[in-house]
Structure 1
Amino acid sequence: MKHMDLDGLKDFNLVALHGSFGRASRVTGRSKATLSRRVSDLEASLGVRLIERGSRGLRLTEEGSQLHERTLQLLSEIEEIAGGLSTGHAQPRGHLRVTAPILFSHTHLPAVATAFTKRYPAVSLEISAEDRFVDLVQEGFDIAIRVNPRPDDALVGRCFARDEMLITGTPEYLRTFKEGGERVRLPSVEMSLAQTPAPWLVNCDDKVRLIEPDVRLRLSSLLMVRDAACEGAGVAILPRLIVTDDLSAGRLAVLGTLPDSAVEYWALHLSRRYVSPKVSRFLAALNETFASGTLPDLRTG
């Protein structure tokens, strides 16, 4: 069994993270010669080359990339555990990386993140807003917030909030809809990549009615769709979380709901026995913020 020196592994990850021995030396204050020797000793102990050194810089070998991706987060957790033991209690500290959908990130996470960093100043929080699927292990994230996630044996978590999809439009469109028959054709605003089948099935007053959407406008963001709907561009399918204020102010009205369109927000993390304090505290902050289980509209003004 190969022996791995943790100090050497830490130095290797510093060099890999900063992209060169020189930058790692400037950040840590340690000499390039010391860092180079530690990495060379680690390579010798493992029997593989981790870094290819050249005149134009360095690059990680395939083995080096795998080692860096799999151990960077583990080393951070080890240091966090050790710090908690030395002080007698595990206080959250270190760098916390969270990935979340763009819409949720823009509407709800800033308030949660601000409160969290004020409460735990030893944690530096990084939030990446993106709608693509993110691999927590390969990309070094601690927490993924996902909408209606598919089962994943590598991740654990819980649903912290729920939402629903509404058919919305201005009060004028609501009147047209109510005065129509079982099938009504209405101008609509949709997402550019929307795949909602037409016609729309709408739950309304304990009945299912049909809307034949006449797509007049396609936009790349749900916030843009909401604003266009408020201006009367057409009816739109929107989550309640971004229209609560508009419904209260009368800018929009609910024509009905989409059947089987429940939306669940889950906070997921790696299924390890030890959950670091920074991860557990952030999960607790989400649960506290959305204790009612629903997503309020957090816009102001």
Structure 2
Amino acid sequence: MDLLALADFNLVARHEGFGRAARAANRPKATLSRRVAELEASLSLRLFERGGRILKLTEEGRALFERTGTLLAELDETAAAIASGGKTPRGRLRISAPLLFSQTAMGRLAADFAVKHPQVRLEVTTDDRAVDMIEEGYDLVIRVNPAPDESLVGRAFLRDRLVAVASPSLAPPHDDGTLVPAVVRGSGSANTPWTITTPNGRSRIAIDPVLRLSSLVMVRDAVRAGVGAALLPISLVSHDILSGRLVQWGDVDGSDIALWALYPSRRLLSTRVSAFLDHLKSAFPQGTPDELAAYVGD
């Protein structure tokens, strides 16, 4: 496949027209049209629907554009990096991060990174699902306790754990089957008892979910208001516990949490991804819940 023709096709697709692409690149419109026609002939595919002033990608054209746009951008960035000695991160960096981490820490992390690396255009989206990095065009994803994935490599950069907390106004639980009002994340009818470890040993708490919320930040705020107890990451509530706003009833058994930064193993690690990994390491050198709590609370 002719890479130059492919680059011209991406240029036209990105600008949604031969005229706009020609003006943006200061190239003859006829040249771009000819190169795209040659690419279509070589692939035996029609890449654009042409009609009057409207130019639309065909289904095959859109698939080609989505698959090759990132690769061509990486080629350009690689050439630029080699020309500059490969030391300066540059280009677009797309990251997907889970909701809670995004709400509490990602804004500051992204801002600090943008100041440190002004030639990188950072884009962060929030999603708790396991996005497909390759199909959706992400350079790096942050996941909580990810399942093994042979197509991805990475490192755990933060660890956390769940604790049972409540407002001081809520009576401490008794291990006698008495229902405790609880604030839980998500929908459904599950009311599985909590098993926690306290200074006096293990305790089993029967719960009555009186409130269901989709965000752990909302859960924390509801617990602060005294409506019920909840299971929350210690990093999110450590300041409340220290101040006496919340009381820690115990640690949740088997609730270790690890945040991983993952990237595709099938391609070389770009300078911009390496730079963001270093940025995470600088922000959380030990990767402890206390570091995250301090970072969020600063």
1:93 and 2:90 are equivalent in the alignment: yes
1:169 and 2:170 are equivalent in the alignment: no
Q: Given that residues 182 and 209 in structure 1 are in contact (C-alpha distance below 8 angstroms), is that contact kept between their aligned partners in structure 2?
A: no
**Structure 1: tracts of 5 or more residues without a match:** none
User: Which residue among 271, 274, 293 is the counterpart of 2:268?
Assistant: 274
The range that moved more, 237-246 or 198-207, is 198-207
Corresponding residue for residue 290 of structure 1: 284
Q: Aligned equivalents of 1:251 and 1:35: distance in 2?
A: 65
Letter of the 2:277 counterpart? L
Corresponding residue for residue 76 of structure 1: 73
- SS of 2:129's partner is coil
Cα 1:6/1:240, change in 2 over 3 Å = same
Corresponding residue for residue 132 of structure 1: 129
Corresponding residue for residue 50 of structure 1: 47
Q: Given that residues 186 and 234 in structure 1 are in contact (C-alpha distance below 8 angstroms), is that contact kept between their aligned partners in structure 2?
A: yes
Corresponding residue for residue 188 of structure 1: 182
Corresponding residue for residue 214 of structure 1: 208
Q: Which runs of 4+ in 1 moved over 4 A?
A: 194-197
Q: Aligned equivalents of 1:31 and 1:252: distance in 2?
A: 68
Cα 1:34/1:15, change in 2 over 3 Å = same
CA shift, 1:189, in A, is 1.0
Corresponding residue for residue 240 of structure 1: 234
CA deviation profile, 1:166-211 (whole Å, cap 9, x unmatched): 11101233x522xx34444211111233686511112222622111
CA shift, 1:257, in A, is 1.9
Q: Given that residues 188 and 217 in structure 1 are in contact (C-alpha distance below 8 angstroms), is that contact kept between their aligned partners in structure 2?
A: yes
User: Which residue among 256, 261, 266 is the counterpart of 1:262?
Assistant: 256
User: Which residue among 99, 111, 119 is the counterpart of 1:114?
Assistant: 111
**Structure 2: tracts of 5 or more residues without a match:** none
- RMSD of aligned Cα (Å): 2.2
Corresponding residue for residue 219 of structure 2: 225
1:23-38 map, 5 Å: 23-38=20-35
Letter of the 1:262 counterpart? D
Q: Given that residues 94 and 139 in structure 2 are in contact (C-alpha distance below 8 angstroms), is that contact kept between their aligned partners in structure 1?
A: yes
Cα 1:148/1:44, change in 2 over 3 Å = same
Q: Aligned equivalents of 2:155 and 2:296: distance in 1?
A: 26
Cα 1:163/1:138, change in 2 over 3 Å = same
Corresponding residue for residue 146 of structure 2: 149
CA shift, 1:263, in A, is 0.9
CA shift, 1:286, in A, is 1.1
Q: Aligned equivalents of 1:66 and 1:287: distance in 2?
A: 36
Q: Given that residues 69 and 137 in structure 1 are in contact (C-alpha distance below 8 angstroms), is that contact kept between their aligned partners in structure 2?
A: no
Give the TM-score taking structure 1 as reference length.
Answer: 0.89
Give the TM-score taking structure 2 as reference length.
Answer: 0.90
Q: Aligned equivalents of 1:184 and 1:205: distance in 2?
A: 20
Q: Given that residues 191 and 207 in structure 2 are in contact (C-alpha distance below 8 angstroms), is that contact kept between their aligned partners in structure 1?
A: no
Q: Aligned equivalents of 2:111 and 2:143: distance in 1?
A: 20
What is the percent sequence identity of the aligned residues?
Answer: 46
